[in-house]
Amino acid sequence: MDWTLEVALLPVTDVDRAKDFYTRIGFNPDHDHTVSDEVRFVQMTPPGSGCSIAFGKGIVDGPAPTTGVHMLCVSDIDAARRQLVDAGVDVSDVDIQSWGHFVYFSDPDGNRWNVQYLPYRYAQ
């Protein structure tokens, strides 16, 4: 039996602001459905990912931000950083470690993200 992680839930304070932010950085807005006055479900997927994020009204109990960090993996850390900068995101410089290269940013609600590039995966 396979166990797959396909959706990670994020707490947000403003659904439209979060949807705009994730759209600007390149996530695909897969689904936006208002179930009732108390429930709105938005699901978005990073390009090429098998896992989406979901947020909305009545979706996650508790205030933003989460205490955890979410990680995106890329094949080109410089291009990823450039895309974030071009989208107006406050993103760190590239942090080069012996095992990988990283950039860090937060969404408008303080949900933290790491973007990881592992050179050994892409070595020729």
List the domain boundaries for the chain. 7-122
Q: pTM (2 decimals)?
A: 0.87
Instruction: Give the full edge-to-edge strand order of the sheet including 112-117.
Output: 69-73, 112-117, 101-106, 95-96
- What does residue 45 show for φ and ψ, rounded to 5 degrees? -125, 130
Model pLDDT for residues 25-84, shown as the tens digit of each residue: 999 999 999 999 999 999 999 999 999 999 999 988 777 776 678 999 999 999 999 999
Q: 7-122: what CATH class?
A: alpha beta
Q: What is the mean pLDDT of residues 85-91?
A: 98
Is residue 27 a contact partner of residue 113, using CB atoms and an 8 Å limit? no
